[in-house]
Chain A
Amino acid sequence: MPSAPALLPRYTGRNDVLADLRSGAVDAIREGCAGVEQVVLVVATDRGPRHAMAPLGQRVGEHLLDLAVGRSDDVLREAPSPGHPPTTGPGTAPPAGLGPTAPAPVPWDASVDECRGRGEALGNGAPPSPLGPGAGYPALRMRAASSALVVVADGSARRGEKAPGHLDERASAFDHTLATALREADPAALLTLDPTLSADLLAHGRAPLQVAAAAMLTTAGRSSGDTGVEPTWRCDRVEVSDPFGVLHVVALLRRVG
């Protein structure tokens, strides 16, 4: 799932610029989380935050989950009338209808090894790390057959001269690697993304994606009873867009064995 702030009601103007992106993300969550007993929301901490709110990825993810279960439709409203600007709460309550949700924040600049460790822990059924705001959530254990990871992550933000980070020629190849890994349901490829390059490219999704990748690999092995087996995942959908120089990806991966 993308983590664009403009997906949140508080940042949405009268013209809902990212309506299609939000709609696609919500559809994917509905499709991927249907019937699961619990949802783990894997997000990155903010980079140099100047606020005391939960990480942006967590707030966006929770909002998308809310929309997926029909608990919040405020962003689908008509243009706000004068005197009633769009507002949103801090988004700290677990959404109803998808089972309990737990945020699993990871430092945005965590090393690959740290991400791998966090992901393996999740895959092995440990509760998400308490890092970051997560108070009030039940301690969940990820169970392979009835859990879903919702990963809030973006590609680079330097895909053109109008991009937030201006053009970096390396962005295209980096994003291609990321998108291909998702399209081919290849968690091992996600683990090859370089943290330094990711940071240079303002790719905020690298750490959560690598946590998820490690969880996928661990879950696959654990479910088969053999930690040496190759993961068996498939990609059911992937939508890539970058209208503002930031790579947004909506992807749905399922474990098939």
Chain B
Amino acid sequence: MRFRLGQREYDETARLVMAIVNRTPDSFYDKGLTWAEDAAFERVREVVAQGADLVDIGGIKAAPGAEVDPVEEMRRVVGFVAKVREEHPGLVISVDTWRAEVARAVCEAGADVINDAWGGADAELPTVAAEFGATLVCTHTGGQAVRTRPHRVEYDDVRADIVASVTTQAERAVAMGVARDRVVVDPAHDFGKNTWHSLEATRRLSELVATGWPVLVSLSNKDFVGESLDLPVGERLTGTLAATALSAWFGAHVYRVHEVVETRQVLDMVSVIAGDLSPARVIRGLA
């Protein structure tokens, strides 16, 4: 299995860090830390220096909140994408949007990946990805409406629902012209899922990997980590990294994260244990 993000090509042993860059005043974790454009630019420079493989730029928080229309969303992200592309020509740029019109604008500005976090809410999104040769992330939301929280959601088999949903979206995207090696799937922890569902999605992640599509996981500081450990936002890094390590072992390929340094270390450690990467520096007992 090989897949492409921008100009880069990866194989099944890839474990890539996708650094979150919010262009929002109200996201749950950073609470507007990079709302100012200068701060957002600095965040990009920082995560690139820390070893991020790509950035994921978002203009709307996932949770319910103030309405952000397409014009405002584009105002937040399009010019920013263009400037990031100018400053970092080789950086893979993803944009977190479900709207085709926003996707078109950011692709024109230089985005490489459309991260459709709301699972096909806008049916025209694959058309835009196909037109620009962008990579499309197909996400499981269990039919949850955009920017809503799950309430009393149940599945017969959440793993099966995830696999069926994302593979259907992926094949549809390919049928609409997206290159097969430019489709990524995401089980979308916490989206349309309670903690039990997200834990099941994690525990059985290898079954999603087995579909052959590259897998993105977005675990960072989420509520399923918080509820698992009974910890608030801000104290979930250790739990996030544990889930990251297991997901890496189960074969996920892209990790959407807030903390790049720690994630990079965990992923490299898993890669080394798996035999996919040599240890960084070895001399103990070998001098």
One of A5, A14, A83, A85 near B281 (C-beta < 8 A): A14
Question: Which one of B11, B278, B281, B285 has the greatest number of beta carbons of chain A within 10 Å?
Answer: B278
Report Cα–Cα, A246/B12, bound state, in Å.
40
The reply to whether A157 and B280 form a contact with Cβ atoms under 8 Å apart is no
The reply to whether A4 and B286 form a contact with Cβ atoms under 8 Å apart is yes
The reply to whether A13 and B280 form a contact with Cβ atoms under 8 Å apart is yes
A22-75 residues with Cβ-Cβ distance < 8 A to B are none
Beta-carbon nearest neighbor of A7 in chain B: B286
The reply to whether A164 and B280 form a contact with Cβ atoms under 8 Å apart is no
Q: Is A123 an interface residue (CB 8 A)?
A: no
Please give, as numbers and ranges, the residues of chain A lying within 8 Å of B11 by CB-CB distance: 82-83
- Answer whether A164 and B278 are a contact pair too, CB < 8 Å, given A82-B11, A82-B13, A83-B11: no
**How many residues of chain A are within 8 Å of chain B by beta carbon?**
23
Query: What's the minimum C-beta distance from B4 to chain A, rounded to whole angstroms?
Result: 16
Beta-carbon nearest neighbor of A79 in chain B: B278
Query: What's the minimum C-beta distance from B170 to chain A, rounded to whole angstroms?
Result: 23
Q: Is B279 an interface residue (CB 8 A)?
A: yes
Q: Is B71 an interface residue (CB 8 A)?
A: no
The reply to whether A11 and B287 form a contact with Cβ atoms under 8 Å apart is no
Please give, as numbers and ranges, the residues of chain B lying within 8 Å of A79 by CB-CB distance: 278
Summarize B's interface: helix, strand, loop or mixed.
Answer: loop
Query: What's the minimum C-beta distance from B216 to chain A, rounded to whole angstroms?
Result: 17
Question: Which of the candidate stretches B42-50, B100-108, B269-277 sits at the interface with the other chain?
Answer: B269-277
Q: Is A245 an interface residue (CB 8 A)?
A: yes
Query: What's the minimum C-beta distance from A5 to chain B, rounded to whole angstroms?
Result: 4
B129-160 residues with Cβ-Cβ distance < 8 A to A are none
The reply to whether A244 and B278 form a contact with Cβ atoms under 8 Å apart is no
Total A-B pairs in contact (CB under 8 Å)? 56
One of B14, B277, B286, B287 near A80 (C-beta < 8 A): B277
- Answer whether A11 and B282 are a contact pair too, CB < 8 Å, given A85-B277, A164-B287, A245-B287: yes
Query: What's the minimum C-beta distance from B74 to chain A, rounded to whole angstroms?
Result: 36
The reply to whether B276 and A82 form a contact with Cβ atoms under 8 Å apart is yes
Question: Which one of A79, A85, A157, A245 has the greatest number of beta carbons of chain B within 10 Å?
Answer: A85
The reply to whether B280 and A244 form a contact with Cβ atoms under 8 Å apart is no
Q: Is A12 an interface residue (CB 8 A)?
A: yes
The reply to whether B275 and A85 form a contact with Cβ atoms under 8 Å apart is yes
The reply to whether A14 and B287 form a contact with Cβ atoms under 8 Å apart is no
Please give, as numbers and ranges, the residues of chain A lying within 8 Å of B283 by CB-CB distance: 6, 17-18, 244
Report Cα–Cα, A136/B278, bound state, in Å.
32
Query: What's the minimum C-beta distance from B127 to chain A, rounded to whole angstroms?
Result: 33
Query: What's the minimum C-beta distance from A88 to chain B, rounded to whole angstroms?
Result: 12
The reply to whether B13 and A83 form a contact with Cβ atoms under 8 Å apart is yes
Report Cα–Cα, A64/B13, bound state, in Å.
31
Q: Is B15 an interface residue (CB 8 A)?
A: yes
Could you write out 16 A-B pairs with CB less than 8 Å apart?
A4-B287, A5-B285, A6-B282, A11-B282, A12-B278, A14-B277, A14-B280, A15-B280, A79-B278, A82-B11, A82-B13, A83-B11, A83-B13, A83-B276, A164-B285, A245-B287
